[in-house]
Amino acid sequence: MERPDAREMLYEGKAKQVFATDDPERVIVRYKDDATAFNAQKRGTVAGKGEVNNAITALLYPELEDYGVPTHFLARLSEREQLVRRVRIVPVEVIVRNRAAGTFASRYGVEEGLALDPTVIEFCLKSDALGDPPMNAATAVALGHASEDELEMLFDLAAGINDYLLARFGVAGLELVDFKLEFGVTGDGELVLADEISPDTCRLWDAETGEKLDKDRFRRDLGGVEEAYHEVRRRLEATVGQPLDLPEPDDEHDHHHDHEQRALHLDLEGEEPHDA
């Protein structure tokens, strides 16, 4: 792909900047080394984090596309930049939890590491000012943040993404504890996975030792933050193309919210999956 030029900055977030290109449907995302936690009350930098998170997202999103998940990702342009489809971000963060940790463990008074069956999928309002408060489906619809159909699609997409990522990180010797997803709507109305998937947005524990290899090292001042991010990248790159232990596709496409893990190849209300 010809490298598009970055034009004016459209948006700057805590960890990324977004630039216009000459194509109104495409923007460039630039990954920064800045790190924040606890709603930006804690700030710092992690040297090389932008490069690592760009590389990990650029590795995982095309794999997810192949699995049937539509994403905003188009191409990695440089160490820190990627080209993505321009979307309107849905202000609903989707958190998937395979094990208790973080705010879930403290909210319910359970040990970190407790296995959760069924997998827990939570919605939060994307609002730094309000601290991303948890929100049930009725609240999201009543406040106009998403439609019921959109929430159902977010739920099904998140469950399918979890199936894939559990297997994908698993083959890299990493336990996927929990993670956060953001979705967007493209100019032609397609709901796609947006944002990033990285040690900033996932909890990843070494499958053998339980060592934390994610942003909790920064949040909790555990040291070795850069090394952990590099280790996740190294393990993912070392396991590209290895066979994955994925669940069987469920061809009944049942939509009741039983939180059962489904393989993807999505039947999104009858729409064709997006071709990569």
Q: Return the number of the residue (132 or 206) whose C-beta is nearest ligand TMP.
A: 132
Binding positions for ligand ASP, 174-233, rule CB under 6 A? 215, 219
Which of the listed partners (ligand TMP, ligand ASP, none) does 37 bind, with a CB threshold of 5 to 8 Å by partner kind?
ligand ASP
Strand order in the sheet with 81-85: 9-12, 16-20, 26-31, 81-85, 73-76
Q: Which does 103 bind (CB under 5 to 8 A by kind): ligand ASP, ligand TMP, none?
A: ligand TMP
Tokens 């339980």 label which residue?
A: 210
Residue from 180, 212, 230, 233 touching ligand TMP (CB under 6 A): that is 180
Q: Which residues contact 91 (CB under 8 A, 6 or more apart)?
A: 125, 126, 127, 145, 146
Asked if 42 contacts 61 with a C-beta cutoff of 8 angstroms, the reply is no
To the nearest whole angstrom, how small is the minimum distance from the Cβ of residue 120 to ligand ASP?
18
Give the count of residues interacting with ligand TMP (CB under 6 A). 12
38 CB burial (10 A radius; 0-12, 13-18, 19+): exposed
Site residues (CB under 6 A) for ligand ASP, limited to 38-77: 38-40
User: What part of residues 132-171 is at the interface with ligand TMP (CB under 6 A)?
Assistant: 132
Q: Does 102 bind ligand TMP (CB under 6 A)?
A: yes
Q: Could you give the count of Cα atoms lying within 13 Å of 178 in the half-sphere of its Cβ?
A: 24
Q: Taking CB under 6 A as the rule, which mask of x and - marks residues 62-101 in contact with ligand TMP?
A: ---------------------------------x-----x
Q: Where are the alpha helices (H) located in 115-202, listed in sequence order?
A: 137-142, 148-171
In the complex, the residues that contact ligand TMP under the rule CB under 6 A are 95, 101-104, 132, 178-180, 201-203
